[in-house]
Amino acid sequence: MAGKLQGIFTPTLVPLDARGEINESELRRFLAWLIEKGVHGLYPNGSTGEFTRLSLEERRRIVKISCEVAQGKVPVLAGAAEANVRDTLAACEAYAGYGAVAVAIVSPFYYRLSPDSVYAYFAEIAKHSPIDVTLYNIPMFASPIDVRTIQRLAADCPRIIGIKDSTGDLSFMMRMIAAVRPIRPDFTFLTGWDVVLTPMMLAGCDGGTNASSNVVPELMRQVYDLTKAGHYQQAMQLHTRILELFDAMLLPFEFPDGFRCGAAMRGFDFGRGRQPMTAAQQVDRAALEKVLRCILSDCGVVDPPASGCAPRGGSVQQDRIAQLALEIVGELEQRGVICTKR
């Protein structure tokens, strides 16, 4: 590949149609819009793209579409993790053929593996991959990749060219960079934690793969540009706004459902996700939409809601009354006091 990965790589959401199938035309329209809004690259099959809820064939189809829409205008970093080394390598081969610039491979998940096993897994893939590989560290969901293991992989495997880290831990980022840069100046560091992109870049990080860039690609791009130009304080002011948006989409919902909701407000039909929701969760989603509309209209990217917005006093505010009322109803039902079902 030519040049280092840097900038904002959007871990793209996947629109589904009424039958729950990939909505290809909407996906193409969405990806083109992201590129137009200024993101530096596409990153299909990440956690935001719910790769674990797709079939192997669907994951391929999504990368193929992404490469077609990107057409070399922006690079595609393709999530390529499959059930085992052999299937992963087959995906690497396919994605190289489609024109992806590199693949991202999440650390083994379900089983929590030791550092030695994490090393063996990535070393084996790197040995045979026909395309550059970036590690993907997300200890919340998958086996952690520790600093020593990253250092060993960087030293031993030229095919491994970078890491995407989703911990949001700035000290960890600094430790990684201190351990790897001296031996691999070309190594790329990307952060998956949207709200601290500026400090991460100040610490030496090359950019981010940020779920929020599905919803406000122009803002994430602006944060990146301001930071790159050394305007750290202005960038941090934007971060405060992004934090409010991020928390509203992240905290009260199953990831990435709040982000699907936010991206839909930008004019795309994302349909319903594949994880079923209870009635209470659907009520919450309606409440989110109103809050999101208020935040997004503050950001100047959508119109405010007709009913107006309450003044907001911090990032932790959220509508709890509806939820509490539903809990009471559930409680009364369970005791047989009332009956709302059927």
- Residues within window 105-124 making contact with its own copies, judged by CB under 8 A: 108-114, 116-117, 119-121, 123-124
Least CB distance to its own copies at residue 329 (A): 10
Binding-site string for its own copies from residue 183 to residue 222, where x marks contact by CB under 8 A and - marks none:
x---------x-xx-xx--xxx------------------
Establish if 299 lies at the interface with its own copies (CB under 8 A): no
Cα–Cα distance measured from residue 163 to residue 322, given in angstroms and rounded to the nearest whole number: 41
The burial class, CB within 10 Å (0-12 / 13-18 / 19+), for 17 is middle
Q: Angle at the Cα of 80 (from 77 to 83), degrees rounded to 5?
A: 165
Stretch that binds its own copies, among 5-13, 31-39, 69-77, 168-176 (CB under 8 A): 168-176
Establish if 140 lies at the interface with its own copies (CB under 8 A): yes
Nearer to its own copies, 71 or 114 (CB): 114
Nearer to its own copies, 1 or 325 (CB): 325
Establish if 287 lies at the interface with its own copies (CB under 8 A): no
* For the chain, the helix, strand and coil percentages under 3-state DSSP, each to the nearest 5: 50, 10, 40
Least CB distance to its own copies at residue 337 (A): 9
Stretch that binds its own copies, among 213-221, 270-278, 289-297, 298-306 (CB under 8 A): 270-278
Element (H, E) at 163: strand 160-165
Cα–Cα distance measured from residue 245 to residue 215, given in angstroms and rounded to the nearest whole number: 9
Out of 1, 56, 229, 338, the only residue in the binding site for its own copies (CB under 8 A) is 56
Q: Under a CB-based contact definition with an 8 Å cutoff, are residues 11 and 220 in contact?
A: no
User: How many residues line the site for its own copies (CB under 8 A)?
Assistant: 81
Name which of 129, 178, 212 is nearest 222 in CA terms: 212
> What tokens does 144 get?
């952690």
Out of 86, 186, 304, 338, the only residue in the binding site for its own copies (CB under 8 A) is 86
Residues in the chain: 342
Binding-site string for its own copies from residue 8 to residue 37, where x marks contact by CB under 8 A and - marks none:
------------x-----------------
Q: What do you get for the CA distance between the two ends of the chain, in Å?
A: 59
Report DSSP state, residue 57.
H
Cα–Cα distance measured from residue 210 to residue 12, given in angstroms and rounded to the nearest whole number: 9
Establish if 281 lies at the interface with its own copies (CB under 8 A): yes
Q: Under a CB-based contact definition with an 8 Å cutoff, are residues 126 and 159 in contact?
A: yes
Least CB distance to its own copies at residue 313 (A): 5
Cα–Cα distance measured from residue 183 to residue 61, given in angstroms and rounded to the nearest whole number: 37
Least CB distance to its own copies at residue 117 (A): 5
Establish if 234 lies at the interface with its own copies (CB under 8 A): no
Least CB distance to its own copies at residue 99 (A): 26
Establish if 244 lies at the interface with its own copies (CB under 8 A): yes
